[in-house]
Structure 1
Amino acid sequence: MNKKSLPVGKRARHVLRSIQTVVAAGLLSTSLTGCTTITQPIDGVPANRLPDTFFVEPKNDLVPIDISLLSLEPPRDYQISGGDILGIYVEGVLPFNPPNAPPEPPPVNFPGEQSILPPSIGYPIAVQDDGTLALPLIEPLDVEGLTLEQIREAIRDAYIDNEILRPEKARPIVTIIKERTYDVVVIREDASRLNTQSLAAEYIRGTSDRSASGTMVQLPAYQNDVLHALVETGGLPGLNAKNQVKVLRASEADKRKRSQFMQQFYAQQRALMLDPCACPPELPEDPAIIKIPLRVKPGVVPDIPKDEITLQDGDIVYIESRETEVFYTGGLLPGGEFSLPRDYDLDVLGAMAIAGRGVGSQVSGGSASIIGGRSSAVPPGIVYILRKTPCNGQVAIEVDLTKAINDPKSRPLIAPGDTIILQYRCEEELINFGIATFFTYGLRELLR
């Protein structure tokens, strides 16, 4: 019998049965696919209920320090120390001339290509490590910390006091042939800085090279500071390096201090492992390592002592990579590992955008991919931030995306190590299942 020939009552009952079939199919689909908020629940705490200790400190307002604080101020007159090579000429003594022979002219020395010193006059005499200067016929002179003029007067007085030269003949010449240098090792874990924009883009995508490079540099006196070491090896740290500089001293005392520090820490760790309820402490700051920040809060002038930026032979300047400053994504977000920006804050909405899912965008998957292959009509409305806490704990921060869009205070900042999981609410999944089921089966049944 044709449906059009059915009575009105039977026709209404047929439409009702069709609608019931659609609803049953939708409920069956829901029961088969499951609601993730029920089958995979996450015990989250709303962001507005957590204390401030669970949130990261913002860094948008940090400003770069005055980089001149990383350099030494040279004195008005160069002060001699061990390692300097002086040009000295003393008529009749250096070089020695027979009484009736005419004096020899002093030699002229020209500096190397990298030196900024002017040409010098005299025979090269090195200042010893103890700061003494050995000259013919007199006892070694202590010239540590003296200027060229003071050394000239000391040499003149020594030859006159020992009755080697008469006052009218004592006219020594003292110049600098080569200033002392300091060998410093610079280790950098930031990549080449030939193209800063491409480097930043590659690092945000997680494809940049983070391998370390080491360089031995020779720094002249009064340029043996952190700033000159950085300039010689490529400049300030790149985007994939931390905004700080570490200085490791090469002295035996500092090496022993670092070794004792590590031994004490691991001994404490082994003792705590015997107690299953004890919380193992994190590795504290090494007191033998100098950390110099490169960005500070506005109005804060960092107190960087002169001895912290002064480098000696064998010291190590270390630029550390930010390879651990990453966050992870899961759930309805594409799974992956993404690097955090160095100089500005990243909230949960920005992290979702970096992962490839902007707020409010349609997400394929879930019920839509099972029924009809359509995109979801209602976007997911909740995201969880899984954040590590001390003692190997974890807190799940629940973020309502609707509130986060309208209220900036409801957008927690992302911290290193966070895992971001995007999910549907149960009612959102039901609506998506229902809409997909209706447009797949409902219209067909109604048209019948």
Structure 2
Amino acid sequence: MTNKLSNHAMNDSSSSTCKTIYAVVALTMLVTASGCTSVMSPMSGVPVKSLPAELLGQSKNNLIQVPLALMRMQKPEEYVLAEGDILGIYIEGVMPPKANEDQVAAAPPVHFPEPGSDLPPSVGFPIPVRDDGTLPLPLVEPIYVEGKTVAEAEELIREAYVEVEKILRPGRDRILVSLMRERTSRVIVIREDGSDQELAISGGTNTRGNTAEVVSGTTRQGAGFTLDMPAYKNDLMHALADTGGLPGLNAKNEVKIMKASRIPNDRREEMMMQLFNQAAPYQDPCALCCHEHLIEDPFSITIPLRVRPGEMPQIDPADVVLEEGDIVLIESRDTEVFYTGGLLPGGQYPIPRDYDLDVISAMSIAGTGLGGSSQRSGGGAAGSILGAGFGGSVPTQLYVIRKSKCGREFNIAIDLQQALNDPSMRILIQPGDSLILRYKPHEELINFGLVAFFTFGIRELVN
């Protein structure tokens, strides 16, 4: 009898030990599977109030549009001649010549401007202004007209034929001079804002009459154009208007102008070698940070499109004038994104260009609101069980991994409970930020206790 009781007690003790071991193993597996990362792999960060000012970023909500008139050159009252202009010239008896005095002079030819041009019809034979600024005319020496108006050029031609060479009689001369075609500057426009522009649809001619050749363009992103821009319309505003307007939301709030026309041909290779030799010793990001003005391209001009209130845009009138061979570049914002992870659905999201995005709004974009559960699966077994309506603690610990200009990484710790009531805790998202949402240790312990109760407690109560 005693032996039977002893065996029974040993069996109960063995059974109880097995149950305990099973429970410990099950609880350990549950802790691991339920996403208890703050306990198993803790993470630390710098509080928001301890961050230096350069890591907080600047607000974009108050930026104002730069007046578009600053991007357009001021047109003179009268057109001034220069190399490349084509004049329509008619000199009775000379262009075309007469065989004798009794021959009736031929009527001057009439030239109608090209479609889209705002020039009036011109009369006479086309004579271009040469590289040295002179007009080659028959029976007289070349006449220098660069810097002169059309009316002044006509007086110079009359003076040469009537007073100097005495080919025509005073008062009997008939000389007509008109502008047949303006000189042009060929400019290249590269757009990375994904706009194919109307030029590709209209066959390469814009609404202003400037010829434009589509170099490359896709329906997704990127387009290039060559523009033949008439004199006094060869400015940045006309270049933007002829290629699709102001940069889109997926482009930077600035326009770069590469003044290739100012680079001497014999210095191009020399400049490339200088840039290479300067950049080689400073491949370290911190060295580049400390020497950010060491490598400066004097032939590149950046035109801002939005500035802060009270800030004077640094736009020189000569900067917006486009010359032969200049390149206008509109860069995309492909790298201005932030990343999410942890209990947030993993992904990559663009940062708005013209307004601020704080950490709370960024969480909403990622699919998780403050104080709520993710709209997509995440958070492990604890998140799925507690999200089904059993309550529990929501994650309130957010870490923002941010890099400084020198490439140094900072883990910024944000208490979402404080951020809900203190706007100063809602730092602005910067390009390259990574948002990691985690439970605090006590939140994980609460959720673990609830999950353990619903997993084992109810079964024990039933038993």
TM-score, structure 1 as length reference:
0.85
Q: Are the counterparts in 2 of residues 182 and 311 from structure 1 also a CA contact under 8 Å? A: yes
Please give the secondary structure, in 1, of the residue aligned with 2:435. strand
Q: Which residue pairs with 2:430 in the alignment?
A: 415
Tell me the distance in 2 between the aligned counterparts of 1:412 and 1:210. 33
How many Å separate the matches in 1 of 2:338 and 2:309? 28
Task: Rate the CA distance shift 1:183–1:270 in 2: closer, same or farther, 3 A.
Answer: closer
Structure 1 residues 80-91: aligned runs within 5 Å: 80-91=81-92
Confirm or deny: 8 A CA contact 2:234 2:323 kept in the other structure: yes
Distance in 2 separating the partners of 1:372 and 1:163: 106
For 2:232 and 2:288, the matched residues in 1 are separated by 41
Shift of 1:133: 0.8
Tell whether 2:178 aligns with 1:175. yes
> Deviation per CA, 1:124-159, whole angstroms, max 9, x where unpaired?
111112211111111111111211111111111111
From the superposition, tell whether residues 105 and 265 of structure 1 become closer, same or farther in structure 2 (CA, over 3 Å). Answer: closer
Q: Is the 8 A contact 2:373 2:387 kept in 1?
A: no
- The reply to whether residue 219 of structure 1 matches residue 229 of structure 2 is yes
For structure 1, which runs of at least 5 residues remain unmatched after alignment? 1-19, 195-207
Give the 3 Å change call, closer, same or farther, for CA 39–210 of structure 1 in structure 2.
farther
Aligned position for 2:404: 389
The percentage of counterpart residues that share the same residue type is 48
**What letter matches 2:170 in structure 1?**
P
Give the 3 Å change call, closer, same or farther, for CA 388–261 of structure 1 in structure 2. farther
For 1:117, give the aligned amino acid: L
SS of equivalent to 1:37:
helix
1:392-407 correspondence runs (5 A)? 392-407=407-422
Look up the match of 1:129.
131
In structure 2, what is the Cα distance between the partners aligned to 1:340 and 1:216? 31
Query: Cα distance, 1:373 vs. partner?
Result: 8.2
2:380 aligned partner, one-letter code: G
Segments of 5+ residues of structure 2 without an aligned counterpart are 1-19, 198-217
Instruction: Within 5 Å, give how 1:352-363 maps onto structure 2.
Output: 352-363=363-374
Distance change in 2, residues 1:262/1:125 (3 Å): closer
Q: In the alignment, which residue of structure 1 is the partner of 2:316?
A: 305
Aligned partner of 1:236 in structure 2 is 246
| 1:40 corresponding residue in structure 2 | 41
2:436 maps to 1:425:
no
Map of 1:205 onto structure 2:
none
| 1:52 Cα deviation after fit | 0.5
Partner of 1:346: 357
Structure 1's 171 and 252: CA in aligned 2 closer, same or farther, altered over 3 A?
same
Distance in 1 (alpha carbons) for counterparts of 2:384 and 2:245: 54
Q: Secondary structure at the match of 2:287?
A: coil
Deviation of 1:315 after TM superposition, in Å, equals 1.2
For 1:9-408, list aligned pairs within 5 A.
Answer: 28=28, 31-33=31-33, 35-97=36-98, 98-159=100-161, 160-192=163-195, 211-251=221-261, 253=263, 263-272=273-282, 279-282=286-289, 285-363=296-374, 364-368=378-382, 374=388, 377-408=392-423
Residues 288 and 134 (structure 1), Cα distance of their counterparts in 2 relative to 1, 3 Å cut: same
Which residue identity is paired with 1:168?
G
The letter of the residue matching 1:220 is P
Residues 307 and 255 of structure 1, relative CA distance in 2, 3 Å threshold: farther
Q: Distance in 2 between matches of 1:223 and 1:230?
A: 12
User: Could you say if the C-alpha distance between residues 94 and 265 of structure 1 is closer, same or farther in structure 2, counting changes exceeding 3 Å?
Assistant: closer
TM-score, normalised relative to structure 2: 0.82
Q: Closer, same or farther in 2 for the Cα pair 1:355/1:171, shift >3 Å?
A: same
Q: Check the 8 A contact 2:86/2:181 in 1, yes or no.
A: yes
1:316 Cα deviation (Å)?
0.9
Give the letter for the 1:106 counterpart.
P
Measured on the aligned residues, the alpha-carbon RMSD in Å equals: 2.9
Matched to 1:327, the amino acid is: F
Q: Following TM superposition, by how much is the alpha carbon of 1:36 offset from its aligned partner in structure 2, in angstroms?
A: 1.6
Contact 2:256 2:330 in 1 (8 A): yes
AA in 1 matched with 2:302: K
SS in 2 for 1:251: helix
Contact 2:87/2:126 (8 A) holds in 1: yes
CA distance in 1, matches of 2:160, 2:393: 95
How far did residue 301 of structure 1 move?
3.5
- Give the Cα–Cα distance (whole angstroms) in 2 for the partners of residues 80 and 66 of structure 1: 30
Q: Deviations over 1:238-288 (max 9, x none)?
A: 111111111112226267777656544543443356xx9x94315655332
Total equivalences in the alignment: 414
> Quick one: structure 1 residues 256 and 279, their matched pair in 2 at CA, closer, same or farther if it must change by over 3 Å?
farther
- Asked whether the equivalents of residues 367 and 429 of structure 1 are also in contact (C-alpha less than 8 Å), the reply is no
Relative distance call for 1:270 and 1:161 in structure 2 (3 A) is closer
